[in-house]
């Protein structure tokens, strides 16, 4: 079932139960693609859904429910990134303490891999896994908005219009940032791919 399937554009509201039942899985999947860590994705999805539930009475139906939830999730993610950056900028490092994030489960930036329907030959599976690791690493190095655009377009198969609505930016901006992000990814990945050949 696609993100926007069976949604009404009319100004009818969606019940809290329907919102959770129909969209919690999709909000989690988007969160996982954005943060790359299942525990952090659960936190982001939960925070986004709580915000959506609190704002449900304000939903006017100007956009589809899925687009509205994408925007809430993306804004919550961006706010978290800004908060984490401001905390990191304001922290001082004690010479007696070990560096923050030097080890532990939250320091793990790995992303889950989708398992293909058919089993590839063992050599191809290792290649595919390595390529996925490289792509995910390169994605994490993009600025947050470019990363969101690439994920929405490539992983979620959203149209330029849907991405523009979700991010509240012009459609032309989506196209140009996507082109720039793809080029940046190509530049980051090409040396790694050549190295393996």
From CA 180, how far away is CA 182, in angstroms rounded? 5
**Nearest CA among 60, 61, 22, 25 for reference residue 46:** 25
**pLDDT of 55 higher than 80:** yes
Topology adopted by domain 9-91:
Rna Polymerase Sigma Factor; Chain: A (1.10.1740)
Q: Is the pTM for the entire model greater than 0.75? A: no
Q: Minimal CA–CA distance to 135: which of 182, 73, 170, 69?
A: 182
pLDDT tens per residue, range 77-109: 988 888 777 776 554 433 333 344 444 344 444
Fold for 122-197, please state it. Arc Repressor Mutant, subunit A (1.10.10)
pLDDT in tens, 124-161: 445 567 777 788 888 888 998 999 999 989 888 889 99
pLDDT for the residue numbered 51: 92
Give yes or no for a contact between 181 and 149, defined as CB atoms under 8 angstroms apart.
Answer: yes
Domain spans, the chain: 9-91, 122-197
The whole-number pLDDT of residue 197 equals 58
- Residue 176's pLDDT is 95
């Amino acid at each position: 079932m696609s993100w926007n399937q069976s949604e009404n554009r009319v100004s009818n509201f969606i019940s809290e139960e329907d919102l959770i039942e129909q969209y919690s899985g999709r909000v989690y999947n988007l969160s996982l693609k954005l943060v790359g860590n299942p525990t952090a994705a659960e936190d982001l999805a939960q925070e986004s859904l709580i915000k959506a539930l609190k704002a449900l009475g304000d939903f006017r139906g100007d956009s589809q429910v899925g687009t509205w939830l994408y925007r809430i999730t993306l804004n919550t993610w961006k706010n978290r990134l800004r908060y984490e950056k401001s905390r990191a900028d304001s922290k001082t490092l004690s010479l007696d303490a070990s560096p923050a994030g030097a080890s532990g489960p939250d320091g793990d930036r790995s992303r889950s891999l989708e398992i293909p329907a058919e089993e590839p030959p063992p050599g191809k599976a290792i290649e595919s896994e390595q390529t996925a690791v490289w792509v995910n690493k390169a994605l994490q190095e993009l600025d947050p908005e470019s990363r969101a655009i690439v994920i929405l377009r490539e992983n979620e198969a959203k149209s330029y219009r849907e991405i523009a609505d979700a991010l509240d930016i012009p459609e032309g901006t989506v196209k140009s940032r996507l082109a720039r992000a793809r080029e940046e990814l190509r530049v980051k990945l090409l040396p790694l791919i050549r190295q393996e050949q």
